[in-house]
Amino acid sequence: MIAIGIWFIRGGRGSKNASGRERPADLLDYLLPRDIYTHISARVDITLYVFERLLRPLWAAALILSVGTFAETQVIAGLSAVMGSGPALDTGLGWMLLYSLVTLLVYDFVFYAIHYTEHKVPALWVIHKVHHSAEVLTPLTRYREHFLEGPIYAAGAALAYGIAGGLFSWLIEADITQATLFNIGFFSLLFGFNGSFRHYHVAFHYPVWLSKWLQSPVMHHTHHSYREKHWDTNLAAVTSLWDRLFGTLYIPEKDEYTPWGLGPETQDQYRSFWQNTTGPFKDWFAMLTGGSMRTSNPLAGGAARTDVNSRER
Ligand SMILES: [Zn+2]
Ligand SMILES: [Zn+2]
């Protein structure tokens, strides 16, 4: 619906094709471009999506109960040790909204920290590379990840909910279990929607002032680009605050070229479902045996990928 509206307003502009270039298109081609939805990358997304959906509930439940509960009790114990018992504030709508806002910010920070580390540490980049091996973006690309990456992010989410929950349990007098469950449900939906929206191929820009606060979809298109100036930018999930604070924010120009994937040098090593599933193990093996994999396999963003992409630009 939103996309149809934007198509009318923008006269068919804003839709990108499989090479990441924007071009005017008729309505059907705008909403569901054939070159994107028949691309092998989009088909692999579907398989990885099914795989991810099957495993996610297991990881999420186990980690919320272990990591989440542990973080919450640690935060409460820490605050009580340093500052005594909490102020036992009355609950009200204002506090609940604040609790939600803090949950969002803590989650976004944890997401940022994990994502940043994955981009900078070669041994972790090979896992995250599966997400970046997408050559086209579709709403399902959000779920395109290696099966080892699911538990990492689920642990991060549980940690974030635990930290925020611990803080507000300490601050507020009443039991906040309901509010916590509401937050988890609400933010899971929000992150799901936001995540799919920013993997849609249409370049939705926000005004620059808003992009400094919230990540627009086109900013995530940039994150997926293999052009060197786009590497390791826009790493948070929802807000732009953490990227701004740590200097990784990149707001693209209108019609900026964002070719997706790993780049022509190594893309064909991470194309099929099987390659994406076994790829990290192969890369680890190559790293352990000390082979000169750098020329054939891009490692983390930043320095290690330089030689691969310098030719590309
Ligand atoms: Zn990334
Ligand atoms: Zn992505």
Would the pLDDT of 303 be above 70? no
Structure tokens at 195: 């995540």
Interval between CA 28 and ligand 2 midpoint (Å): 24
Interval between CA 174 and ligand 2 midpoint (Å): 39
What confidence score (pLDDT) does residue 12 get?
Answer: 63
Which listed ligand is nearest to 233 at the C-alpha? 1
Helices (H), 121-253: 122-132, 149-171, 177-197, 208-211, 217-223, 241-246
Q: Could you give the maximum distance between any two Cα atoms of the chain, in Å?
A: 64
Would the pLDDT of 70 be above 90? no
Per-residue pLDDT of 188-214, as tens digits, reads: 888 888 888 899 988 889 999 999 999
Total-model pTM: 0.83
Supply the angle between the helices 149-171 and 69-83 in degrees, to the nearest 10.
40
Q: What count of Cα atoms within 13 Å lies in the side-chain half-sphere of residue 30? A: 20
55 exposed, middle or buried (CB, 10 Å; 0-12, 13-18, 19+)?
Answer: middle
The CA distance from 147 to 144, in Å, is 9
DSSP code for 248: -
Residue 15: phi and psi, rounded to 5, are: -80, 135
Interval between CA 272 and ligand 1 midpoint (Å): 19
Interval between CA 31 and ligand 1 midpoint (Å): 25
Interval between CA 2 and ligand 1 midpoint (Å): 26
Interval between CA 33 and ligand 2 midpoint (Å): 19
Q: How far is CA 307 from the centre of its chain?
A: 26
Interval between CA 19 and ligand 2 midpoint (Å): 16
Interval between CA 164 and ligand 1 midpoint (Å): 25
Interval between CA 237 and ligand 2 midpoint (Å): 9
Per-residue pLDDT of 89-98, as tens digits, reads: 777 778 888 8
Interval between CA 107 and ligand 2 midpoint (Å): 17
**Least confident range of 2-6, 23-27, 221-225, 293-297:** 293-297
Which listed ligand is nearest to 149 at the C-alpha? 1
Interval between CA 116 and ligand 2 midpoint (Å): 13
Helix and strand totals (H; E) in the chain: 14, 0
Which listed ligand is nearest to 232 at the C-alpha? 1
What confidence score (pLDDT) does residue 304 get?
Answer: 44
What are the residue boundaries of the structural domains of the chain, listed by start? 1-313
Which listed ligand is nearest to 45 at the C-alpha? 2
Grouping H, G, I as helix, E, B as strand and the rest as coil, residue 235 is coil
DSSP track, 192-212: HHHHHHTTSSB--PPPHHHHT
Interval between CA 27 and ligand 2 midpoint (Å): 25
Interval between CA 232 and ligand 1 midpoint (Å): 7
Q: How far is CA 133 from the centre of its chain?
A: 14
Q: Mean pLDDT, the chain, as a whole number?
A: 84
Which listed ligand is nearest to 118 at the C-alpha? 1
3-state helix, strand, coil in the chain (%, to 5): 65, 5, 35
- Residue among 167, 156, 149 nearest 112 (CA): 156
Terminal-to-terminal C-alpha distance of the chain: 36
